[in-house]
Amino acid sequence: MFRNKSFDGMPNSEGSDGSQENKARRRCCRVFSQNCSSVNSSLINQMEEWTSRNNCMDGGQKCLYTFISSSSTELKGTHTTPVAGYVDDMTFTFTDPQDSTTTCNVKAFSTSRVWYAYLDFGTNYCNLRNLAEGAGLTSRSNFSEVTRDGICTQYTSRNCEVY
């Protein structure tokens, strides 16, 4: 679940010239109905389950995830597209609301490493969404998500069964 008060403090994607405009990217906020430690562990477990190509033999993108690092407040990983081999960097930032052991606010960000990957059919959105769905986090009560085309390239035209 995502809840967004603002998108301030989110990392930005950089183009080859250092600009922030050139790459496909996805930012969103989610609120999950469990504590951040559990959300973090669930996402790591899903990345580790989807490291090989085996889950993409019939198409789709639910494979080739790599866990990079984790702390109590941040998780980093990558997703590699199975056909073109593009690598997208993912960062999840966790915030436990004050006095809450049953809710976790997450700011999630995915961006392509290549500067020319701008119109990505919602791939960066799907990198994050597929992972959260695979981990069973989106089916829990009180899950919410805040994103839109202005902060997530081609969000409204996404197809996460393909991308």
pLDDT along the chain (163 residues), means of 10: 31 38 53 87 98 91 97 97 92 83 87 72 85 92 75 66 65
142 neighbors 34 (Cβ within 8 angstroms): no
Neighbours of 102 (CB within 10 A): 12
Say what the pTM is: 0.77
Q: Residue 92: its pLDDT value, please?
A: 96
Which residue from 95, 86, 163 is spatially nearest to 130, judged by alpha carbons? 163
List 93's β-bridge partners, or say none: 74, 107
Q: Residue 148: its pLDDT value, please?
A: 65
Q: Residue 117: its pLDDT value, please?
A: 60
User: Is 25-157 CATH 3.30.310.80?
Assistant: yes
> How many angstroms separate the Cα of 48 from the Cα of each of 15, 30, 37, 53, 106?
29, 21, 17, 12, 20
Q: Residue 163: its pLDDT value, please?
A: 54
Q: Residue 28: its pLDDT value, please?
A: 58
C-alpha torsion angle, residues 29, 73, 139, 13 (rounded to 10): 40
Q: Residue 100: its pLDDT value, please?
A: 67
